[in-house]
Amino acid sequence: MATTSQPPIKLTGHKNFVYRLVFSTLTGRTIHISQIRPSSPTNPGLASHEISFLRLLEAVTNGSQMEISYTGTIIVYKPGLITGTASGVGASSGSVIRHEIPAGCTRGVSYFLIPLCLLAPFSKAPIKVLFTGPGVITSSTPTGDMSVDSVRTAILPLFNQFGIFNNIELRVLRRSNLGPNGRGGGGEVQLVFGHQVRLPKTLHLMNAGRIKRVRGVAYSVGVSASNNARMIDTCRGVLNPLVPDTYIFSDVSSAPLVPAPERNNPSAKKKIGLGFGLSLVAESSTGCLFSADVACPPSGGQPPEDIGKQCAYQLLETISKGGCVAPAAFPIMIGLMTMGSEDVGRIQVGRDIIGDESSIQLARDLMKFGAPGWGLRDAGDESNDVIISVVGRGIGNVGRKVA
């Protein structure tokens, strides 16, 4: 008897590329993405960081197939089973996948971490990935990626609300800022995600509460530690009158070394990723988290006082958008709600977040993957927020045995 397979879902453009691949893997649907930067005169098709994410996806899955056109403007992705670190031949559950990011990468390591965290709860085995290589950037970037510190303190704790909280750790082994021309950094980060669930819990989050504390990390890489003190002092000057419970940790580290072979010295190395930055996270009385990230530009010329003030104002702006979820965490929350049990979950978000281009694109993509549409209604209070109702698909973790 012949089996009929579903036709591939046809999508266009490079926006939301990683989330399209993630939802394709979770739902098991083949996707066909075309028109990936077709009009770029210098770099048409897939960028280096997108190809690197495809390699990471291939490492944590078993049976995935990828067909890329000669120009790189078309890709067909057939997902496999999410097996985690036990996907390799002879690999055990305690092994670690070593993923090397190339030197020309302009995206922060959070570009890879956040989608990987969305896949990890549905894996057959724990996911342990070590991000290394000359392209690892642990700080925030001008392309919109948050720092590793914000992922650790503002993204990973959100999994608690879905019943995912055991053996989750993000270790920063070596820090780095943006390298010359905003490319590469030479850092090293390890993600350990050992809590796999059958189905995430249904979420009802409709009370933002009031901000009760602010925590942060000021980091300096290969530069004077006084930069941290100056950033912290300026930032506290803005936040202390509003939130007295403000504590910012100072982290000073040396600059990482990356290979720079020369004709006379093939084993030569150079320092890269020098700079400083600040990560802030505000926590409300109901457990809602809001984050802000600012790092110095690779060209320099910006004093630490400006970084501290800019980050403090950015945090206040994120809080002022309202709702119970920050813009950076919106895809994670909606993704877990969509993949959860077949029940209606609700979450309150600000109008600016639901009206953002990326949020609308996320809703359209989820509709393509067969998820029901969102229900929207006013919160009915003075906050002027919107309550989104999401019906779970009940897909869950096909690799996990039922206890």
Is 221 strand, coil or helix? strand
More confident residue, 288 or 40: 288
Overall average pLDDT of the 343-352 stretch: 91
The answer to whether 214 touches 314, Cβ cutoff 8 Å, is no
Kindly indicate the confidence band of residue 92, based on its pLDDT and cuts at 50, 70 and 90.
very low
The residue ranking higher by pLDDT, 267 or 249, is: 249
Residue 375 lies in a domain: no
Q: Is residue 6 part of a domain?
A: yes
Q: What mean pLDDT is reported for the chain?
A: 88
Of residues 301 and 235, which shows the higher confidence score? 235
What per-residue confidence (pLDDT) applies to 403? Answer: 40
Residue the block writes with tokens 């670190």? 85
Range from 51-60, 102-111, 176-185 carrying the lowest mean pLDDT = 176-185
pLDDT band at 291 (very low <50, low <70, confident <90, very high): very high
Beta strands, E only, 222-302? 246-253, 257-259, 269-271, 275-284, 289-295
Q: Is the pLDDT of residue 289 over 80?
A: yes
Q: For residues 83 and 398, is the Cβ–Cβ distance under 8 A?
A: no
Q: How far apart are CA 378 and CA 274, in angstroms?
A: 46
Strands 61-62 and 81-82: antiparallel
Stated pTM of the model: 0.91
Note the pLDDT tens digit of each residue in 210-223.
Answer: 999 999 999 999 89
Does residue 1 register a pLDDT over 60?
Answer: no
293 within some domain: yes
CATH code of residue 220: 3.30.360.20
Tell me which amino acid residue 181 is: N
C-alpha closest to that of 86 among 196, 197, 198: 196
The answer to which of 85-94, 170-179, 245-254 has the lowest mean pLDDT is 85-94
H or E segment to which residue 309 belongs: helix 304-320
3-state secondary structure (DSSP) of residue 77: strand
85-89, 121-125, 132-136, 236-240: least confident range = 85-89
pLDDT digits (tens, 9 = 90+) for 357-376: 999 999 999 999 888 888 89
**Considering 272, 299, 321, which residue would you say is the last residue of a domain?**
321
What pLDDT, on a 0 to 100 scale, did the predictor assign at position 173?
93
Flag whether 158 is in a domain.
no
Nearest to 25 by CA among 58, 3, 52: 58
Tens of pLDDT, residues 174-207: 999 988 888 888 899 999 998 888 888 888 988 8
More confident residue, 265 or 368: 368
Which of these three, 294, 321, 348, is where a domain ends? 321
Residue 47 pLDDT greater than 50, yes or no = yes
SS3 breakdown of the chain: % helix, strand, coil, rounded to 5? Answer: 30, 25, 45
Nearest to 16 by CA among 30, 2, 36: 36
How sure is the predictor about 402, in pLDDT bands with cuts at 50, 70 and 90? Answer: very low
* Residue 41, domain member (yes or no): yes
Q: In whole angstroms, give the CA distance from residue 52 to residue 47.
A: 9
CATH label of the domain that carries residue 11: 3.30.110
220, 138 Cβ separation under 8 angstroms: no
> Which residues does 177 contact at the CB level (< 8 Å), separation at least 6?
137, 138, 139, 185, 221, 273, 274, 275, 276, 277, 295, 296, 298
Question: In this structure, are strands 344-349 and 204-205 parallel, antiparallel, or unpaired?
Answer: parallel
Q: Name which residue leads in pLDDT, 94 or 198.
A: 198
CA 92 and chain centroid, separation:
26
pLDDT at 258: 79
Tally of structural domains, the chain: 2
| Torsion 145-149-151-155 (CA) sign | negative
pLDDT at 340: 84
Q: How far apart are CA 8 and CA 21, in angstroms?
A: 13
Among 176-190, 252-266, 278-292, the range of highest mean pLDDT: 278-292
The pLDDT score that the predictor gives to residue 278 is 95
Instruction: Judge whether 347 and 329 are in contact, CB under 8 Å.
Output: no
Extended beta strands in 79-210, E state: 81-82, 97-100, 127-132, 168-174, 188-193, 204-205
Q: Do residues 395 and 26 make contact, with C-beta atoms less than 8 angstroms apart?
A: yes
pLDDT score, position 398: 59
**Domain boundaries, position 1:** 1-82
The answer to whether residue 237 sits within a structural domain is yes
Lowest pLDDT segment from 144-148, 315-319, 344-348, 382-386:
382-386
Q: Is residue 358 part of a domain?
A: no
Q: Final residue of a domain: which of 297, 321, 345?
A: 321
Q: pLDDT at residue 2 above 80?
A: no
The pLDDT of residue 400 is 54
Distances from the Cα of 189 to the Cα of 113, 163, 170, 267, angstroms? 10, 25, 7, 24
Whether 90 is in a domain gets the answer no
Residue 138 — φ and ψ, nearest 5°?
Answer: -90, -15
299-308 pLDDT per residue, tens = 878 899 999 9
